Structure 1
Amino acid sequence: MKSSRRYNHRQRKKLHIGEYQELAFEVMADVAAPARQGDPEALLDRFLKEAIEANGLLMAGAIDDGQLSAYILLNAARGSVSAEQREAVEKWLQASGDFENVRVGPLRDAWYGVDQE
């Protein structure tokens, strides 16, 4: 959220701007052909346990028509996903062998999204 207006501490906190900005990222990947033969719920559960929860993150998303589409954010009341956490998720997806054509978006404002950049 960009504005020429100056906000006080309380307003910045309420609006999640400045030092209170929170970052998240998007992930998209195709499920590899061998993994499509298995249970997509089990694959998603493994991704959640090993890549998301292990890094202190939350995910909103699904595997649908052989494609993983997810929005990843920090599992905390306040805070941002770090570059290291984003990289760990990307490495897990690439190393798992169950996903191909992995696309991990940049860290973006979790409250105001890409329209405000």
Structure 2
Amino acid sequence: MTTQRSRRLRKKLRVDEFQEMGFDFSVELKQPLDESQADALVDAFLDEVVIPRGLEFGGWINGGFICKAGRGSATDADREAVADWFKARAEVSDANVSPLVDAWH
């Protein structure tokens, strides 16, 4: 049975045309990093990928969740940019990025 909701309610619930997508990522490092190296890698990730693409990132360098800052959805291009950035780093042995998933439900 289909539930009919008003546009206002669909927007509030972030469903249908207001659905927002994000993705998980996981990273395996070649060797453990000390705190300053991990901080430098996270800062570089934020400065080179997350902020320029208008994304938000929750987690740490070994994995987390990424979605669009504000309203909207992350894109497949965002997924590819994150995966490519991690794979290009000397500190990283493997990086996996999940398909887009609903960021709210």
Shared fold per TM-score greater than 0.5: yes
Match of 1:84 among 57, 65, 77: 77
1:49 aligns to 2:43 (yes or no): no
Task: Provide TM-score, normalisation by structure 2.
Answer: 0.89
Counting aligned pairs with the same residue, the percent is 34
5 Å-filtered alignment, 1:1-117, equals: 4-33=2-31, 36=33, 39-63=37-61, 68-76=62-70, 78-112=71-105
Alpha-carbon distance, 1:98 to partner? 2.0
Task: Provide TM-score, normalisation by structure 1.
Answer: 0.80
Deviations 1:10-33 (A, max 9, x none): 111011001100000011001223
**After the TM superposition, which segments of 4 or more aligned residues of structure 1 sit over 3 Å from their partners?**
none
Please, which runs of 5 or more residues in structure 1 have no aligned partner? 113-117
User: 1: distance between equivalents of 2:48 and 2:29?
Assistant: 17
User: 2: distance between equivalents of 1:98 and 1:56?
Assistant: 25
Q: Please tell me the root mean square deviation across aligned C-alpha atoms, in Å.
A: 1.7
